[in-house]
């Protein structure tokens, strides 16, 4: 649910999970130092700066231009770096939970750069190599036995887009300003996701945002669900002997999936878990391997 959200919602819920596990430090990637980022967070939390940004946007300016006018081109350039966008949201969320943020600076290659330098590749370059069947074992600590691509589930996504109603789309996370009609019209015209993405994209709606919206529509992630603070912790793996850490968790735990799911008291928590199940089934199709049953899959213990 939250992986399909904006940087702000993603960071808020990620840090909420860390806080619920009593973490006191959080590491994340960034293009700049933690001092630079902390300085910008102070700027962004300044009421006068925020008022200038909101006033500019009300007059029709897009956020990047409004931001530059309010904080200056240098600070705006730092803010708009891909990793920094999320890093700043992590810092804001960490401040609320008393967690120390630690920024690990990107080195050698930039975000989305199509090169390999000093044995390091960007995530987009790695994905491209995996999809093309190129060897990448020298660039990662392990290889992926059954890589998943969006092309593997493209027919299922197209079916959803061609049958969804405007009323259903209007409830999907991040859909606003009549975007539902652009999506439905594009889905009627084209039979490929790339063509649909390119048709829907505008200055206001970036390609990354469009992809998130389409996948949210596929999985039926609504605005209401995505605005619900993360309601439980699902434990995927733990180091042997560290089980004691789970006892002080600040949110309900899902360890034994079937039993713990039944004990979830919030209806929204069960709905969010159903989204995870739908995503897992989509992954099972994309993997083209033996399906993984989420209800029988145990916690991975590392020695």
Name the token pair of 178.
């009549």
Name the token pair of 122.
């960007």
Q: Give 286-294 contacts, CB < 8 A, sequence gap 24+.
A: 286/148, 286/149, 286/150, 286/152, 286/153, 287/146, 287/148, 287/152, 288/146, 288/152, 289/145, 289/146, 294/257
Strands (E) in 68-190, as ranges, are: 100-105, 116-117, 120-121
Quote the mean pLDDT of the chain: 91
Tokens 């992590």 sit on residue: 90
Res. 47: pLDDT tops 80: yes
Name the token pair of 282.
């989509």
Assign 262 a pLDDT band (cuts: 50, 70, 90).
confident
189, containing H or E segment: helix 179-189
Assign 65 a pLDDT band (cuts: 50, 70, 90).
confident
| Distance (Å, whole) CA 189 – CA 192 | 9
pLDDT digits (tens, 9 = 90+) for 142-167: 888 888 888 999 999 999 999 999 99
| Distance (Å, whole) CA 231 – CA 236 | 16
- Mean of pLDDT values over 209-237: 95
Say if pTM beats, i.e. exceeds, 0.85: yes
Q: Cα 54 to the chain's mean position, in Å?
A: 25
Q: Worst-scoring range by mean pLDDT, 69-78, 99-108, 210-219, 272-281?
A: 69-78
Give backbone dihedrals phi and psi of 287, rounded to 5 degrees, phi first: -70, -30
DSSP, collapsed to helix, strand or coil, labels residue 234 as strand
Assign 270 a pLDDT band (cuts: 50, 70, 90).
very high
């Amino acid at each position: 649910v939250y992986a399909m959200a904006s940087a702000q919602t993603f960071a808020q819920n990620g840090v909420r999970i860390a806080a619920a596990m009593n973490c006191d430090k959080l590491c994340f990637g960034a293009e700049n130092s933690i001092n630079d980022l902390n300085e910008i967070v102070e700027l962004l939390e300044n009421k006068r700066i925020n008022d200038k940004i909101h006033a500019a946007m009300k007059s029709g300016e897009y956020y990047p231009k409004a931001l530059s006018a309010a904080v200056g081109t240098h600070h705006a350039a730092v803010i708009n770096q891909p990793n920094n966008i999320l890093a700043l949201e992590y810092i804001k969320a960490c401040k609320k939970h008393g967690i120390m943020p630690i920024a690990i600076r990107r080195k050698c290659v930039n975000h989305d750069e199509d090169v390999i330098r000093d044995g390091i590749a960007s995530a987009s370059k790695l994905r491209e190599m995996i999809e093309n069947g190129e060897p990448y074992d020298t660039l990662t600590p392990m290889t992926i036995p059954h890589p998943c691509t969006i092309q593997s589930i493209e027919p299922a996504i197209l079916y959803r887009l061609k049958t969804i109603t405007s009323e259903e789309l209007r409830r999907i996370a991040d859909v606003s300003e009549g975007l539902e009609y652009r999506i439905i019209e594009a889905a009627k015209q084209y039979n490929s996701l790339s063509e649909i993405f390119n048709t829907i994209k505008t200055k206001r709606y970036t390609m990354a945002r469009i992809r998130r919206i389409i996948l949210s529509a596929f999985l039926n992630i609504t605005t209401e669900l995505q605005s619900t603070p993360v309601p439980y912790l699902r434990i995927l793996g733990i180091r042997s002997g560290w089980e004691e850490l789970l006892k002080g968790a600040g949110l309900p735990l899902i360890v034994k999936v079937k039993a713990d799911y039944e004990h979830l008291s919030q209806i929204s928590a069960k709905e969010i878990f159903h989204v995870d199940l739908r995503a897992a089934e989509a992954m099972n199709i994309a993997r083209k391997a033996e399906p993984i049953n989420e209800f029988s899959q145990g916690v991975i213990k590392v020695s």
